[in-house]
Amino acid sequence: MKQVQLIKIIAQELQQRKLVIALLLACLLSALAVVQMSHLNRQLTIQQDLNYQQRDQLDTEWRNLLLEQRALAEHSRVEEIARQQLNMQRPTGDRDITVKLQ
């Protein structure tokens, strides 16, 4: 009999304090949302840092490739390869041929 009365008393108290309970639940849900958003923010910040590192690495690689391309395209290097590997020679003035278009 005492248990039944105790349950009735608890139920009456809960009905009287609905607003307090609702505010408590709202506070708990808000706290959980803050924790979740903080975790997500940290993950996104870490990913952003990794993306910045990758961008810097790719930028460095791009600059190195540009330097290599310029070095390979130098006129003196091309002329040397043509002379050594293809046995080509620079034409003299009497061997020049001019083609005229009509």
**Quick one: residue 87, left, alpha or beta (phi over 0 = left, psi -120 to 50 = alpha)?**
left
pLDDT score at 45: 98
Structural domain boundaries in the chain: 2-91
Crossing angle of helices 2-16/18-72, nearest 10°?
60
**Residue the block writes with tokens 């105790």:** 6
Q: Per-block average pLDDT, block size 10, for the chain (102 residues)?
A: 81 86 95 98 98 98 93 81 84 79 80
pLDDT of residue 52: 98
Check residue 94 and give its pLDDT. Answer: 78
pLDDT value at residue 31: 98
End-to-end CA distance of the chain: 121
